Amino acid sequence: MEHPEDGTLALLALGEEQGVPRAQSRHVAECATCRKELEGLRRVVSAGRAGAGEPGLERPGEHVWSRISAELLGPAGSGAAGTPELPAVAPELPAEPVRAPVPQLARRSSRSWRTAWVAAAAFLLGVGATVVADQLRTPSAPEVLATAELAPLPEWSEADAGAAALHEVDGARVLNVELDPGLGEGYREVWLIDSDLERLISLGVLVGSEGVFDVPDNLDMGEFLIVDVSDEPYDGDPAHSGNSIVRGELS
């Protein structure tokens, strides 16, 4: 069986085994040449993902170029003291460019492309994971639209005051209500009432000391500013009992 294409090895290096035919996966596992290239690509992936969050690359010092030059020039380029000497003037290029054999050039180009492609993919995956993690760690705070102090009504004059706050979360409005859980003989229901105390809308039942209630999108909060928490008997009647524990106006 022929060696798999460059894209196949790139997928395996990125951990995308499900996109590779089973026969080609078996070939890579059994072929020493393919395994060697795959290991190299996996090292590129690891380096790309590990460096995704780094701010930048450090510029190498001059000694790095000196060592590279020594390797390239070989013994002929060494001075008396063993220090590589760089040519003062760049050598002249031949009139006709020297062409490498086409098969070798194509192979190097393909390998370079594959390595660059894998490195870029690994880097982007690492950056994406970093961005997502940062967003999860720092959620946006909800916007406070209005607040109200919920004062006890005369029948509940010994009760502690409660609090309400209108928030906007992801484009929707919610009402947060806090009240002493020991108040009330039946169940407690949260209402929004208009300024004339004639129209009212139930938001739901308050269980415990705090509750969060969705506010209808089309409700005009310029009219329904009063927050009311009532003590409701278990009589099956959905109407307001007329026994309000606390009440306050949003502003």
Give 54-121 as a DSSP string.
Answer: -S-PPPPPHHHHHHHHHHHH-GGGB-TTS-B---SSPPPPPSSPPPPPHHHHHHHHHHHHHHHHHHHH
Domain range for 240: 143-249
CATH number of the domain bearing residue 197? 2.60.40.200
Asked if residue 127 and residue 190 are part of one domain, the reply reads: no
Asked if residue 184 and residue 245 are part of one domain, the reply reads: yes
Q: Which of 247, 245, 248 is nearest to 156 (CA)?
A: 245
Domain-located, residue 77: no
pLDDT at 112: 53
Domain-located, residue 19: yes
Domain-located, residue 64: no
pLDDT at 139: 53
Asked if residue 121 and residue 223 are part of one domain, the reply reads: no
Asked if residue 8 and residue 107 are part of one domain, the reply reads: yes
pLDDT at 27: 77
- Measured CA to CA, the distance from residue 227 to residue 221 in angstroms comes to 11
Domain count for the chain? 2
Q: The whole model's pTM is what?
A: 0.46
At 149, is the secondary structure helix, strand, or coil?
strand
Asked if residue 207 and residue 156 are part of one domain, the reply reads: yes
pLDDT along the chain (251 residues), means of 10: 75 72 76 81 72 56 73 57 49 52 45 58 56 52 90 91 93 94 92 93 94 94 95 93 95 94
pLDDT at 81: 46
Domain-located, residue 79: no
pLDDT at 109: 47
